[in-house]
Amino acid sequence: MPDTYFYRYDDFDRTLVAERVEQFRDQVRRRLAGELTEEQFKPLRLTNGLYLQLHAYMLRIAIPYGTLASRQLRKLAEISRKYDRGYGHFTTRQNLQLNWIRLEDAPDALAALAEVDMHAMQTSGNCIRNVTADHYAGAAVDEIEDPRIWCEIVRQWSTLHPEFSFLPRKFKIAITGSPNDRAAVRVHDIGLRLWKNEAGEVGFEVIVGGGLGRTPMIGKTLREFLPRDELLAYLEATLRVYNRYGRRDNLYKARIKILVHEIGAEKMREEVEAEYLSIRDSALRLPAETIEAIAHQFAPPVLPERPMISGRVEAERLSNADFALWLKSNVAPHRVKGYAIVTASLKPAGSPPGDASAAQMEGVADIADAFSQSELRVSHEQNLIFPHVAIDDLPQVYKSLAALGFAEANIGKITDIIACPGLDYCALANARSIPVAQRISTHFAGLARQHDIGDLKIKISGCINACGHHHVGHIGILGVDKNGVELYQLSLGGDVDFGKTAIGTILGPAVTADKVVEAVDSLVATYLDNRQDNERFVDTYRRLGAKPFKERVYAAV
Amino acid sequence: MAKNLSGDLQVASANRLADGIVVWLDDAGQWTDRLEHAAIARDPRSAEILLERARAESFTVVEPYLVAVAEDEQGALEPLSLREKIRASGLTFEAIAAEAVRYA
């Protein structure tokens, strides 16, 4: 099977990761032998992505910019079966979390990951985390340039960067190469958007100071257009300014968004530009050959053009209503004629969003080998993507996914819910997320109704840290703990679409757990009663405001 | 069933070092994965002593702390907070099995 369209570890990478595994093996041995206290060991295990959650250790594995080869997914399945309970959770940062890892097995799990050029470094701590990207990267019809080239350059620059290993807080970068933002770049510490200027040159819009969490902010554009070869100098300058002025006295005010908010975008720009000017012509300027060499690793697969119309697809469409809906919601246009991008829904009705068993991961890897050049992507919306599927193969891909339980025709619909692990797993959570998502998706399970409701993004977080991105959900749901009781705060109108990025507005008093489904049902009913033409839920909300939604919800609950 | 919900009753809990699973300190000073075997402190002074014992026995566990519990007439224990209830009884939904391909 081809495996040529990915980042490739060189000897430096392999040595670094192998040494890190052995270093951690020794640290674990010393901890188990009592030679290290928990206070001494905790930062060491977190540096290797190993958290201690409510019930067990959790290993957060970095999936670089959400790009996976089938052999890597197969290895993740093997690791989950051998060292965990045989399933994993794909996260909103395109990573995979294994929830039941034993400390004594963690070094072996990391060694197994290294076999397929993966690791868990920089998935915790106040460093630059795994860079995220558009999950249609390398295939999207609207793509100006593959963002993974730049993700990989940022990955190489930021991995164990000595100056940025102890920032005031964690730091998240997202990159999109398309005008339709599928990477939520305006709600990251730094968002980068590739675009083409009037002269036909491709460069970056640099957006700084976005983020969700306790204080949600939409990022500010510091640079409208940055030449590509100056990317690392500009990033380094931004990180230096943050490292210098970011607050270390208050955990809740330590993210770069607070710095940008406090000093203002203009002052931030001045500081960054001054620093940038001093380093722009340093070794950080990317030579054309370096960019080309990395771009070569992400060269698109050779896909001979094929007919856009397939007799097999048309026959299946006419005979299978669910397949017809799946074509509408789970299949996106590809930039090569005769191909499509397919999203496998990890949100079957009533299931934990983003979870996949080892057998399912292996099944998905098999489908990728047979139909998608052995390539996969993980989306921040917690689904898996086959980027290069021939249109004529769609019926077979659908059937194979249906056998895995991943063919739900619900992408972008009300049951395609983002949810964090919540209080069932997470040591930081105040309330459960997954059971709430399960109840909503069970309630709205009918596909015809979901498609009638149309595009509607529900995002659920179990605490204010907002791993479930509730601030930018069309309907956001935040779990809170009030005197030991789980309550859920609803917000409306959040969005990450480019040009429409918005933080949702809280609707009113939080509702009890048993009223969440009823409340969502009331919101949907209000929309259906009031929508005009092809308005989406969020469009109707924007036109009418909160009042009719609020009245109906609080009359019902 | 009548329960003592005063919050006066406490047990010592931690996560086991080797695998992270939830454990409680029993009367013999051993860490057990069964809440019903946990040693109960029934007043603030006993709770202080229990926590000291837990810390002294913390070689094989991570960061022991006290958990408020209720006790019914049969002596069954239940943590008061939802977080501790979930720690004691596990996930509140059914997780998928390794070989599951259809779990909806």
Cβ-Cβ pairs closer than 8 A, A with B, add up to: 106
Note whether A139-297 and A418-556 share their fold: yes
Residue partners of A60: CB distance under 8 A and separation at least 6: A49, A50, A51, A91, A95, A96, A97, A120, A123, A124
B84 falls within a domain? yes
Q: Which of A191, A161, A190, A185 is CA-nearest to residue A255? A: A190
CB contact under 8 Å between B104 and A103, yes or no, is: no
B101 falls within a domain? no
Kindly report, residue by residue over B65-99, the tens digit of the pLDDT. Answer: 999 999 999 999 999 999 999 999 999 998 887 78
Residues of B in contact with A351 (CB under 8 A): 96, 103-104
Give the count of domains, chain B: 1
The whole-angstrom distance between B87's CA and the closest CA on chain A is 6
- State what percent of residues in chain A have pLDDT above 90: 95
- The band of B13, judged by pLDDT with boundaries at 50, 70 and 90, is very high
Dihedral of CA atoms B88, B93, B96, B100 in degrees, nearest 10, equals: 140
Kindly report, residue by residue over A469-491, the tens digit of the pLDDT. Answer: 999 999 999 999 998 899 999 99
Its CATH class, for the domain covering A11-114, is alpha beta
- The band of A9, judged by pLDDT with boundaries at 50, 70 and 90, is confident
User: Is the pLDDT score of B37 beyond 50?
Assistant: yes
Where do the structural domains in chain A lie, given as residue ranges? 11-114, 139-297, 311-404, 418-556
| Residue A438 confidence (pLDDT) | 97
Q: Which fold has domain A139-297?
A: Sulfite Reductase Hemoprotein; domain 1 (3.30.413)
User: Is the pLDDT score of B7 beyond 80?
Assistant: no
B72 falls within a domain? yes
Residues of B in contact with A363 (CB under 8 A): 101
Return the ∠ at Cα B100 (arms to B94 and B103), rounded to 5°. Answer: 50
Strand order in the sheet with A50-52: A50-52, A57-61, A96-101, A87-90, A355-357
Give this complex's ipTM.
0.92
B23 falls within a domain? yes
Domain span at residue B62 reads 3-89
| Residue A8 confidence (pLDDT) | 78
Residue partners of A519: CB distance under 8 A and separation at least 6: A488, A490, A511, A553, A556, A557
Q: Which of A212, A185, A219 is CA-nearest to residue A471? A: A212
The full 3-state SS of A435-448, as one line of letters, equals HHHHHHHHHCCCHH
Residues of A in contact with B63 (CB under 8 A): 38
Kindly report, residue by residue over A297-336, the tens digit of the pLDDT. Answer: 999 999 999 999 999 999 999 999 999 999 999 999 999 9
B95 falls within a domain? no
B96 falls within a domain? no
Tokens (6 digits) for A84: 């965990």
Q: Which of A32, A19, A64, A27 is CA-nearest to residue A46? A: A27
Residues 475-514 in A contacting B (C-alpha not used; CB under 8 Å): 481, 484, 486
Mean pLDDT of chain B: 91
Question: Helix or strand or coil: residue A413?
Answer: coil
Residues of A in contact with B92 (CB under 8 A): 424, 432, 435
Residue partners of A486: CB distance under 8 A and separation at least 6: A423, A430, A431, A432, A479, A480, A512, A513, B82
CB contact under 8 Å between B80 and A102, yes or no, is: no
Which of A424, A425, A442, A483 is most worth mutating to test chain B (most B CB atoms within 10 A of its CB)? A424
d(CA A328, CA A556): 33
Rounded to two decimals, the pTM is 0.95
Contact A208, A190 (CB under 8 A): yes
The yes or no reply on domain A418-556 and CATH 3.30.413.10 is: yes
d(CA A346, CA A364): 11
| Residue A2 confidence (pLDDT) | 45
Length of chain A: 557
**DSSP per-residue string spanning A14-25:** HHHHHHHHHHHH
B68 falls within a domain? yes
User: Is the pLDDT score of A339 beyond 60?
Assistant: yes
User: Is the pLDDT score of B102 beyond 80?
Assistant: no
A98-to-A124, A334, A422, B103 alpha-carbon distances in Å: 14, 32, 15, 18
Tokens (6 digits) for A99: 């929830």
Residues of A in contact with B90 (CB under 8 A): 55
Which of A29, A90, A103 is most worth mutating to test chain B (most B CB atoms within 10 A of its CB)? A103
Its CATH class, for the domain covering A311-404, is alpha beta
The whole-angstrom distance between A481's CA and the closest CA on chain B is 9
d(CA A104, CA A25): 9
Mean pLDDT of A339-352: 97
